[in-house]
Every structure is written in C-alpha cells, then in structure tokens.
Structure 1
C-alpha cells in the first residue's frame, strides 16, 4: 500500500479482534506505529499525551465501562489540537441500523465499518481519507 500514516489507534476491548486488525494493518504496511487501547479511558489517556498523535482511529461501539458513544462524548472535550485532522471510523460488529444512523449524526465520526477490518476495507478507507488525488 503506498499510503503510510504516522500512527493508527485501535480502540477495542476484544483481544482477538485487536490482534486481527493489527495484523491487517501491519501486513498493509500503512502505518509507522499502531497503538492499541483496550478501553475508552485508555484511549482518552493516550490521546491526551499522544506522541505521535494518530492520523486514524478505529473505535468499537460495544465495550464495557465506557462504550464507543461515551468515548465520543469525552473525545469532543479534548483540546482541538489533540484531535485535529484525525479520521475516526466506527469499526463494529453491531448489526443495529440505528447505530449507523446515529454515527452519521456525529461530526467527529468519518465512517462506519463492520469488523474485522479487511484489506479491501482498509484500502478503500485510506484512498477515501488520505489519498492526495
């Protein structure tokens, strides 16, 4: 893949899913660094101190303690410089059409995808959001 991002952040409580998604990202060679947060709070802590700041975030909806929706509410309150130009994609197993509709109403969310992440999905997302064409 010719597009290479500086950093991608995966936010998901499911270790096997994180393993598969990270493997897909590594095989694509599309990021210099991949950071995994297993909770919304861990992700917020990372974003407050992130170096490097992620270019792309994949966020799960259904997580214990803090789900993806609550993460987004708190994400909104981060300083603008901490979230500038970050593309945030909901990556979920949710089959509830209301989740996708709700996602479209949140300006911080760029897209809604089903997991696990595939090479084709990743390629399409990278072209859509990071291609300089």
Structure 2
C-alpha cells in the first residue's frame, strides 16, 4: 500500500469502541501512526476548519451520531471547510443497513467511499489503491 500521499487520518464516531478499533486498524495498516479521533462531530468540524492540510487527509465519518449526524456534518463541512481542505477524502464508515443512507452518501460530491463497519486493513488498502 502506497501511503505516502496520505498526510493525516481523522476518525469521527460517537462510539468509543469503534474509535478504538478503527484507530488500531489504521495504525496496523501503517497509514497513520496516530489518527486524530473525535467522538463529537462539532469538535471534528472545528478541528478541520482550523487545520487546513496541504495534501490528502482521510476523514472517516460515522452516519448515526447524536446531535449532528454524518449528513448534517457534511452540510456544515461544505459550508466551513471544503474550500480550504480540497485534499480531504471523506469516507462514510457506518453500520447503517439502509439503502437510502448508502444512496444519499454516494450521491454527495464530498463522499469518496461508503464502507461498512468494522474497518479492515483490506478496506484501507483498497481505498489507497483507488486514489
């Protein structure tokens, strides 16, 4: 896996167990030594707005979160972060089995991929290969 193009990985998920597991998978894949983790999507938006990155950053985003779900996150991201973070690659990472969620995510121009939890090293390898 050629990970040189990826400068950072951000995990946004309200479930601490999922954050822990996904962080371990990212580390095991050698994509990122210390992925940035947020259990609060508003905090993640603030971080992304304040830390533009020159290069590719993968943002793994859960759909089902309280207060601000993944789709509301995408709307706010587009308004506040998208222009300055043109290199960000947003991946919906979810347990949702609803075909409507998948269609909605795949029709959003900001979303590069829709993946089901749990994240695997193979998912990461396939994602990086597709870049």
TM-score of the two chains, using structure 2 as the length reference: 0.90
> Which of 80, 84, 87 matches 1:85?
87
1:43: which partner in 2? 44
Select between 53-62 and 116-125 the one with higher mean Cα deviation: 53-62
User: Is structure 2 residue 17 aligned with structure 1 residue 16?
Assistant: yes
> Whole-Å Cα distance in 1 between the matches of residues 24 and 8 of structure 2?
15
- SS state of the match for residue 107, structure 1? coil
- SS state of the match for residue 83, structure 1? coil
1:65: which partner in 2? 67
Could you list the structure 1 runs, at least 4 aligned residues long, displaced by more than 6 angstroms after superposition.
Answer: none
- SS state of the match for residue 35, structure 2? strand
Gaps of 5+ in 2: none
The root-mean-square deviation of aligned C-alpha atoms, in Å, is 1.7
- SS state of the match for residue 80, structure 2? coil
1:74: which partner in 2? 76
1:3: which partner in 2? 3
> Whole-Å Cα distance in 1 between the matches of residues 100 and 82 of structure 2?
28
* Aligned 8 A contact 1:7 1:32 in 2: no
> Whole-Å Cα distance in 2 between the matches of residues 79 and 20 of structure 1?
27
* Aligned 8 A contact 1:59 1:88 in 2: yes
* Aligned 8 A contact 1:6 1:32 in 2: no
- SS state of the match for residue 3, structure 2? coil
Residue 81 and residue 33 in structure 1: after superposition, are their counterparts in 2 closer, same or farther (change >3 A)? farther
TM-score of the two chains, using structure 1 as the length reference: 0.89
* Aligned 8 A contact 1:55 1:86 in 2: yes
Gaps of 5+ in 1: none
> Whole-Å Cα distance in 2 between the matches of residues 58 and 70 of structure 1?
15
